[in-house]
Amino acid sequence: MNRRVSAILSAVLLITGLSAQERNDIPALRYDENKSLTWEEAVSFYSDLDNRYSEATLLEMGMTDAGRPLHLFIISSDGETDPEKIHRQGKTIVLINNGIHSGEPEGIDASARFAADLLADRNGLKKYLRNCAVAIIPVYNIGGALTRSRYWRINQNGPEEKGARRNTRFLDLNRDFVKQDSRDAKAFAEIFQLLDPDIFLDTHTTNGSDHQFTVTLIATQPEQMHPEMEKYFREKMLPELYTRMKEEYGNEMVPYVQYTERGEIKAIIGFEEQAYYSTGYAALFNSFGFMTETLVYKPYNERVIGTFQLISELVRFAAMNNREIIRLRADANRHTLDAKEFVIDWEQDTTRWDMLDFRGYRYEETTTPITGRKSGFYNHDKPYTETIRYYNYFKPAITVTIPDAYIVPFAWEEVIRRLEINGVHMKQLQHDTTMTVETYYIDGFEPARRATQGHYFNSNVKLRTVTQEVDFFRGDYVVPVNQKSKKYIITMLEPQSESGFFAWNFFDSFLEGQDWYSVWGFESHLKELLDHDPALREAFEKAKQSDTKVGTDPVAQLQWLYQHTPASELEKRTRLYPVSRLMRAGNMFNAGN
């Protein structure tokens, strides 16, 4: 086990409590009564399972913004909690995350029931532990879960009380997986890096268009996978999950229904996955990622049961196909290391689609009872089934050539810290040095007019590439790209990435320009230069003759002269993106550099 994993495991604290025989306050699951577990009840529930079963362990991991630790519940056949040992045993690891939006709690109750059933071997579930270990985050957004009200998500069909969508810092945690402003996201990243899960599931609730399905599913955008992994995902894994849900439980699923306007669904558009979402984050590490989105209008107990069924099928699949899953991920990891190019932005391929049966309700107009405005509703007395298109193919929009390394100046502490949390290995320069590197100049971008997640998001980045010598200081970080976190490194450090550090304003201060000049006293210095530099004077006179603006505008004359004197060397740093690309590292990573 590596030193980092050992340190994390040695730091976790086991939850202690009374023995199961002495306890009489273990909370019951009451989703059939339209009630969900509170955070305290969830922790107590898993603590009891820890006390009852040798295969179960409840751990306290990193701190969250709520001032409470994030819990991790691990189930393995021999009680092993060291993920490296579990992987060496040839077992897959499934990680389930719940309550990221605490008003969407069905995963909290579904995971608790699944853990209890698995450990009690109900319906022979325990056999899956021979080839699979299960890790559960009982409640991710603890701050939101502690802020319960019957009025959160007021149009949701249960449970009676729900938590808040945002965490204690008012962050939507499902937009924070890579930028990691919250302690919650940092703690999650440490868990994810520790476990290296083969399959990841995040549980949610969706509103919007109404239809006959209880469970809708977001699956990792397949194109982000290694081709063989993508083929397996499209042709084996997804079809089997959909088929099993329909045939084993009579609970047919449909892909997540995105909509732009309410009305009858004529097509389903595949979910374009950004790295700041949970499944997008998982894809950066070649994990199979899923997100359940149960329909907000269905009764709470049906949503819990549907989520429970999908969890059961994911664990079954992970156990029955453990060797193939492990092989595919190993091949994908090798392919990632060998890759010379990386797609940082995708766009919908409207020329390709699949067909699926969609079971909806007719959409009709009505007059609302209070305001009398015209609106619409889905008439449950008029169900229908139609075959519609499912557009779930994407093509590259922006592709970058992968450098050997990036160089991040010591000054960008917040960036360095996040790289470290996500398992990135770096090396600091031991001496001031000058290197020839590839650099970016940001020629244009669109800052958002209103804040998102406390940031004014930068998009539509236009840049140009310049290869030049750059001075670096002792302590600056060299980030070799060929490592396990390669996709994360590129996604976060490329300025055109929609999930990267530039998009989230981490580097905005470099956009403010350099020293420039003051008109006071500047002309006396220019006169001295012109008197001693005939070539400069001649070029200046030609510029005034050939450019009307320079010839007639005093300010334009001063700018021309500034840009053609040694002082303008400072301006080479204006809009120069601070992260450099080292295209050929040579012996850079040898000791002593």
23: domain CATH number? 3.40.630.10
**305 shares its domain with 374:** no
Residue 420 CA to its chain's centroid (Å): 16
Instruction: Give the pLDDT of residue 557.
Output: 86
Shared domain check, 291 and 210? yes
- The answer to whether residue 346 is domain-embedded is no
- Do 400 and 386 reside in the same domain of the chain? no
Residues 357, 475: one domain? Answer: no
Q: What is the pLDDT of residue 512?
A: 82
Indicate if 81 and 65 belong to the same structural domain: yes
Bridge partners, 360 (sequence order): 211, 384
Residue 362 lies in a domain: yes
Short-list 424, 10, 416, 408, CA closest to 193: 424
Is 372 part of a structural domain of the chain? Answer: yes
Q: Which ranges constitute the DSSP H helices of 141-182? A: 142-146
> Does residue 265 fall inside a structural domain?
no
Task: Tell me how far apart the alpha carbons of residues 44 and 56 are, in angstroms, rounded to a whole number.
Answer: 14
Q: Are 319 and 444 part of one and the same domain?
A: no
> Do residues 327 and 474 both lie within one domain?
no
Tokens of 386: 């139609």
Flag whether 70 is in a domain: yes
Where are the extended beta strands (E) located within 103-230? Answer: 132-137, 199-206, 215-219
**Which domain covers residue 486, as residue numbers?**
396-513+575-582
How many domains, in total, are found in the chain?
4
Q: Which residues pair with 255 in a beta bridge?
A: 217
pLDDT of 555 reads: 85
87: left (phi over 0), alpha (psi -120 to 50) or beta: alpha
Cα 317–chain centre separation: 24
Looking at residue 402, the DSSP 8-state letter turns out to be P
**Around 377, how many Cα atoms within 13 Å sit in the side-chain half-sphere?**
11
Mark whether 373 and 422 lie in a shared domain: no
- What's the pLDDT at 15? 37
pLDDT value of position 263? 84
Is the domain of 232 the same as that of 280? yes
Residue 593 belongs to a domain: no
The label of the residue with tokens 């050992």 reads 6
Which residues does the chain have with pLDDT short of 50? 1-24, 591-592
User: What are the helix (H) ranges across 53-174?
Assistant: 83-88, 106-120, 142-146
Q: What is the pLDDT of residue 408?
A: 98
Residue 434 lies in a domain: yes
Residue 553, domain member (yes or no): yes
484 and 560 share one domain: no
N- to C-terminal Cα distance for the chain? 28
pLDDT given for residue 258 in this prediction: 80
Using one digit for the tens of pLDDT, what is the confidence trace for 120-153?
Answer: 999 999 999 999 999 999 999 999 999 999 999 9
Picking from 363, 390, 417, the residue at the C-terminal end of a domain is 390
> What gap in Å lies between CA 64 and CA 58, rounded to an integer?
17
Q: Are residues 284 and 135 in the same domain?
A: yes
Q: Which helix (H) or strand (E) holds 467?
A: strand 458-472
The bridge status of strand 477-480 relative to strand 427-428 is antiparallel
> Of the candidates 184, 136, 140, 141, which has an alpha carbon nearest to the alpha carbon of residue 165?
141
Residue 262: predicted pLDDT: 75
Residue 565 has a pLDDT of 76
Q: Which residues contact 109 (CB under 8 A, 6 or more apart)?
A: 29, 31, 36, 37, 304
Joined together, the tokens standing for residue 314 give 């994911």
Asked if 381 and 422 sit in the same domain, the reply is no
